[in-house]
Amino acid sequence: MGYVYRHSPYKGAEFAIHLAIADSVNDQNHNTFWMSIAKLAKKSRVARKTASFAVSKIVENGFLVLEKERPGGTNLYRFVFVDQDVVYESRTTPLGYSYPQPATSGSTNPIEPKKKPKEPLSSKSFDLEFDEFWAIYPRKEGKGVCKKKFNRIAITVDPQTIISAAHIYALRRKNEDPQYTAHPITWLNQERYLDEPEPPIEQKTPEQPKPQKPCTNPDCRNSWIFLPDNTVIKCPNCL
C-alpha cells in the first residue's frame, strides 16, 4: 500500500480502487490479485461501474497485468510496481526503500525489500519502429505508456521481433471479438512477442462439381421428355 500512496497517479475513486487492490495483493504468490468487481466496489465504497472502469484504466496504464482471463468468473491479475515519480512523500518513509518483489523458493522472508535493478540506458530512439508497431497492433489504447515500454524493451530485443509478433497477433485477432484483444501495454508487459507462432490453418479447396455428359436421347429437353399426350416425364438417361 505504501507504493500506491507514494506513486499512484490517480485521484478520487480511481485512487481508492488502486489502494484497495494493493491491500488485497498476495505478495507471497508473485503479487497476484483476484477479486470480483462487485466485492472490489464494495471494499472501495464506489459504484460497480466505477470500479470496472477504474480496473480497466489501471490495466491500460500498466499498474496491473491480466494474467488469466476467466469469462463468467474472477480474472487473475498481477500487481506491477511501475517506475513512477513520487506523488506523496511521508516524513517517515526511509530513503532508498524499494518495494517487495515476488517470493522466491527457499526465502525465509518473502516480502523482504529488494533493490530494483536499473534498466540499461540508451540514447537511441525507436520512434520509427514504435510507429510501425502501433500501426500494426489491433488495439489502440494507452499509446504514451506503450511507447515508453517499447523503447525500454527495444534496447535488448530486436524491434523487428516485436513488430513481426504484433503482425501475427493482428492476423489472429482479425474478425474476432475486439473486447478480448489484449491491451498493447498488457501484450508488451507479458512479453507476448516471444510466443511461439501457431501453425497456419490449412484452407480446404471446395470440390468442383463434375461436368455432366450431354444426353444422347434425341427427345430429351433439359432432362425432360414431352409426350404426344401433353404429359412430361423425366428423361431416363439423365437419372
Class assignment of domain 1-118? mainly alpha
Cα diameter, the chain:
112
Where along the chain do its domains lie?
1-118, 120-199
Q: Residue 28: what pLDDT?
A: 58
Q: Which residues have a Cβ under 8 Å from the Cβ of 136 and sit 6 or more positions away?
A: 163, 166, 167, 170
Angle at 110 between CA 6 and CA 18, to 5 degrees: 30
The whole-model pTM stands at 0.36
Per-residue pLDDT of 105-160, as tens digits, reads 444 444 444 555 555 545 568 899 999 999 999 999 999 999 999 999 999 999 99
